[in-house]
Amino acid sequence: MKKFSNSWKSSKKPKKQKKYVINAPMHKRHKFMTSKLSKELAQKHGIKRIGVRKGDKVKIMRGQFRGIVGKVNKIDLSKLRIYVDGAERTKTEGSKAFYPIHPSNVMITELLLDDRRRIKAVKNEK
């Protein structure tokens, strides 16, 4: 059986859609790591969604950490999750661990634009 095929993307079946996401190679997984922009940023840049990056400020919109605003600490492409400052859980031993959050459950409130490639990407998204 094939490990990955672009034709799975065109299927309407949820089973094949899930298979496409799970078996996607790393260079395609970046497309899945997008989040909604806040109203102010969307009007300013003329786009609604953009890829999340380490250092962006996000607001968690869904889940048990709803309402928390923090910086993106880490991005895990293999698990398709982001880790936000403030969204932590306490382990049984007492130490703290970041809670994994899907990027669709957050809204970007502040973009990190210190990189020329990121600025160019924001302009090209229009």
Contact assessment for residue 38 and residue 48, using Cβ atoms and an 8 Å cutoff: no
pLDDT in tens, 12-46: 999 988 888 888 998 888 889 999 999 999 999 89
Domains and CATH numbers, the chain: 33-124 (2.30.30.30)
pLDDT exceeds cutoff 90 at 116: no
The confidence score (pLDDT) of residue 1 equals 63
> With contact defined as beta carbons under 8 Å apart, do 41 and 56 qualify?
no
What 3-state class would DSSP assign to 32? helix
pTM for the model stands at 0.87
Alpha helices by DSSP H, the chain: 14-23, 26-29, 39-45, 116-124
Q: Return the closest-CA partner of residue 98 out of 66, 75, 125, 122.
A: 75
